[in-house]
Amino acid sequence: MRLQAAMQIAVDQAKKSLCEGNNGFGAVILLGDRIIAQGRDTEETRQDPTAHAEINVIRQASRKLGTKDLSGCILITTHEPCPMCAAAIVWSGIKKIVFGFSIEDALKQGRRRIGIPCREIFSRAGAKVMIEKGPLGDECALLYNGAVRQEIQKLRNATKDQLLMYNEESTRKRLEWFEAKVSSCHGFSDDKIKAGYQLLLSRFNIREDQAPIVERTGKKILFHSKNFCPTLEACRILDLDTRYICRYYNERSTDLLVKQIDKNLRFTRNYKKIRPYSEYCEEMILLDG
Ligand SMILES: [Zn+2]
């Protein structure tokens, strides 16, 4: 539980880093049960390529304890330390580290990392450092999810006009997708409302059980979306209000997509029931006229 609480602080620090325009890494140093340092990467805001979260907390802890010997401490970090930070861990004498996301997983995603695991640095240095894969692995993985990162880049400090501009961009992409994929191999229901629903599932790779229909009339399909949504995760990380963001960022492009089936179809949401304020996002396709 102590490690989990410390990792939660590291995750919160990583979120702050992303809000500030840094790269989303957080770290904590424990001495016994006491947190003696917590911090995040500040590479961008300080224009310092060495200002990684681990280096920042090692400096903080050494200043606080008045010694460069941190051999009694544990370092908890959201991401496996890079070779520079692993070397700093060796020089600090830290004997145990706990991390969330691994360098190996980052490389698999195609992220730019120096491909040397920290255990290799420790072993080449002859340092006995215990390495533990930490708690909150899923939360850490979300911080480094490629689709979530793309959304963070767009949504961080976005004005309403920028959101509307992104909406136009999405519209263009969605209509291109419709032209390329759908007009050649239709396969959707003859029932227009149902076809609109199937079209959305197909476009966003959502299974029917991830967006179950909860109400169906001749004029409406109401469904509860619970699928993985990078926009939602980015809003959670940046502490943005989805009731505002999603309205301007992607409602119109989704509406225009369903209108490709029939101009009387309309997509909208109930912004009183939208994640993370509700268990699901209540969305609907209506047939006007
Ligand atoms: Zn580093």
Within 13 Å of residue 262, how many CA atoms lie on the same side as its CB?
A: 19
Q: Which two tokens stand for residue 203?
A: 């476009």
CA–centroid distance, 240 to ligand 1, in Å, is 28
Contact predicate 115/138, CB 8 Å: no
CA 192 to ligand 1 centroid distance, Å: 53
CA distance 21 to 43: 9
If you measure from the C-alpha of residue 19 to the centroid of ligand 1, how many angstroms do you get, rounded to a whole number?
19
Q: What is the pTM of this model?
A: 0.90
What sign does the CA torsion over 123, 13, 236, 18 have?
negative
Tell me the catalytic residues.
Answer: 54
The CA 265 to ligand 1 mean position distance, Å, reads 51
Q: How many CB atoms lie within 10 A of CB 186?
A: 11
In the structure, ligand 1 is a single-atom ion and the residues with CB under 5 Å from it are 52, 82, 84-85
> pLDDT by residue for the chain (289 residues), tens digit each?
589 999 999 999 999 999 999 999 999 999 999 999 999 999 999 999 999 999 999 999 999 999 999 999 999 999 999 999 999 999 999 999 999 999 999 999 888 899 999 999 999 999 999 999 999 999 999 999 999 999 999 999 999 999 999 999 999 999 999 988 776 656 778 899 999 999 999 999 999 999 999 999 999 999 999 999 999 999 999 999 999 999 999 999 999 999 999 999 999 999 999 999 999 999 999 999 8
204 C-alpha vs ligand 1 centroid, how far in Å?
35
